[in-house]
Amino acid sequence: MADEPYILVADDDPLVLKSITFILQRAGYRVITVTDGEAALAQIRADHPRLAMLDVMMPKMNGLDVCKEVKADDSLAAIPVFLVTARAMVQERERGLEAGADDYITKPFANRALIDRVGEIFAPTATE
């Protein structure tokens, strides 16, 4: 079970965290959650999740900074990072992509669109 691929979801809003977790688990994914950026970075370093979904605005360390740290570390850089935020402005999206994010998802999002984006990450390694 510990080696089973999982999605790390980091968000300080309990309702958003619960919602994303429910959507992903219902689609069959294993999910681990944390509520701040430092915990997210520690979890990524410890376990190398298959995907990290990071809220941009979190305490202790924001999602942009976590993403930059992950992408600057050769042992972690291949882990896909999705930034999740309520900020839909073009400049914010550009900042996220410049930080190295593989995708930028704005809240609120369509459940199906989220599942489809996550599915693209898991599809190449599916062995079932």
Closest by alpha carbon to 88, among 111, 108, 112, 114? Answer: 108
Q: Shortest CA distance to 32 belongs to which of 19, 46, 21, 23? A: 21
Range of the domain at 59: 7-122
Whether 16 maps to a domain, the answer reads yes
21 band by pLDDT with thresholds 50, 70 and 90: very high
Q: How far is 4 from 103, CA to CA, in rounded Å? A: 23
| Residue 128 located in a structural domain | no
Q: Is residue 75 part of a domain?
A: yes
| CATH number of the domain where residue 86 is located | 3.40.50.2300
Total number of domains in the chain: 1
* pLDDT score of 1 more than 90: no
Q: Is residue 127 part of a domain?
A: no
**pTM attached to this predicted model:** 0.87
pLDDT at residue 59 greater than cutoff 50: yes
Residue 84's φ and ψ, nearest 5 degrees, are -120, 125
- Is residue 38 situated within a structural domain? yes
pLDDT per residue over 76-109, tens digit each?
A: 999 999 998 876 666 777 777 788 898 888 877 7
